[in-house]
Structure 1
Amino acid sequence: MPNARKRSAGPPPRGGTARPWRAVAVAAVVAFCVGALLAGGGGYAAGRPDQVQQTVQTLQAQDAARDKAQIKELTATARELQGKLLPVLSEMAAAMPIDPQAAAKPATAAQVASWRAATGAAVERFAHPPSGGTGVNIARSGLANAVRGLDAAVRTYEASLSAPPATQQALVSLAANQRDIAVATWSTGGTQLDVANIDAGFGHAHVFLPAAPGSGALTADGETEGHHD
């Protein structure tokens, strides 16, 4: 049987596996392109405000606008009530002198009825408070508690008018203490209202009720109305 012819050695047939260096080069190019796209997208995202941040900024702006409107409204209400309560406090001071050495001038039932009308209307003004920021809420709460305390003082004094002589003076003294606490409470709310006005850019707003020296009530600072710190 004749021997089979040996095939001569030569280059491998075309169409075989590609050389390894070409695969590496292609992979490098693809990686570079992908990296460039990701870097460009990341740069765009970094320069664009985040949606959550935008929402927070929008809500903060809305809260600031709401508080400014409420501060302006509360200040107007406080000034109106101040004007209506000053005559009441003047008559109460005659009936319940701050100076213990001064002679009291008892109020009539008609006077006390006018006090109740004024303090009751003041209480009603705070019956349905809106929700606002912490600063304006504290100011409103202080003023609201003050007028409720003053209304309680009026009712206590009213009770003294028909009370037996043995308890009448005790009720008058209690009413005087309630009045003094109410005025001090108003001073706290008034001070916070002043701060809120300054923070809102409106300047100082001094809305206080007259208080006895040494009563612990806060008083207006030396700045002029509307002055900006």
Structure 2
Amino acid sequence: MPRPLIAVAVTLVVAAAAVGGVLLDRRDGVDARTADLVAAEEARTVEDAAAVTATAQDVVDVLSPMAESLAGPSPAAADVATWTADVAALQDRLAAEPGGSTAANAARSALRSTVALTGSSLEAHALAADAPEDALAVRLGAHAADLGDQALRSWVTAATLVDVANVDAGLGHVHLTLAPGVGVDH
């Protein structure tokens, strides 16, 4: 083989090796960046699950004292006034919470719905207590109890979604209960 052809062949082999090395190095960089992004997403999912679990525990702390009264006859007016203020403060806190992973957002949305239904039930209980003793008071009381029952059923969904967020994050199951025997425990 003539010298110029050998030189060209050697040059092509060296160039191919260099290009191949650059491409392999680039691929290794992409793989490393992908691994970094996956690790960051997994860490965020764990943080989101922990945060929504803490929020759910706050909901338990606020709603548990009233859970047995929500779906029944109207509780005492003083209790309703105290609970209404507690629920309003909890609603404000929930409204200010940032978004996160899909699982945590779904759980947080269900918690907001539970708290909103609880607030509506308390408002209806207050209206029933203020109504004259007639058919309207009875209907308002029944409506308040129905809203309370809906809040308790909504809680089951919220608690399940908090559990799902924790399982998805690799944290295991979380079982949250408002009050034993009230609604359906999760």
What is the TM-score when the length of structure 1 is the normalising length? Answer: 0.69
AA in 1 matched with 2:176: V
Supply the distance in 2 between the matched residues of 1:28 and 1:174 (Cα, whole angstroms): 94
Instruction: Give the match's secondary structure for 2:96.
Output: coil
Question: For residue 180 of structure 1, what is the aligned residue in structure 2?
Answer: 149
1:127 corresponds in structure 2 to 95
Between Structure 1 and Structure 2, the one with more helix by share is 2
Q: Tell me how many residue pairs correspond in the alignment.
A: 185
Find the counterpart in structure 2 of residue 73 from structure 1. 51
Higher relative contact order (CA 8 A, sep 6+): 2
The equivalent residue for 2:173 is 204
Paired with 2:126 and 2:37, the residues of 1 have a C-alpha distance of: 49
Task: Work out whether residues 142 and 186 of structure 1, in 8 Å CA contact, stay in contact via their aligned partners in 2.
Answer: yes
In the TM superposition, what are the counterparts of 1:187-198 in structure 2 within 5 Å?
A: 187-198=156-167
Mark the runs of 5 or more structure 1 residues left unpaired by the alignment: 1-20, 97-103, 221-229
Asked if the contact 1:79/1:207 (under 8 Å) is kept, the reply is: yes
Correspondence for 1:100: none
Contact 2:45 2:101 in 1 (8 A): yes
Q: Per the alignment, do residues 135 and 92 of structure 1 end up closer, same or farther by CA in structure 2, a change over 3 Å counting? A: closer
RMSD: 2.6
Q: How does 1:154-173 map to 2 (within 5 A)?
A: 154-164=122-132, 165-173=134-142
Instruction: Tell me the percent identity.
Output: 32
Residue 134 of structure 1: CA displacement? 0.7
TM-score, length basis structure 2 = 0.83
State the one-letter code of the partner of 2:119: D
Task: Go from structure 1 to structure 2 and tell me whether the alpha carbon gap of 1:55 and 1:47 turns closer, same or farther (over 3 Å shift).
Answer: closer
Residue ranges of structure 2 left out of the alignment (5+ in a row): none
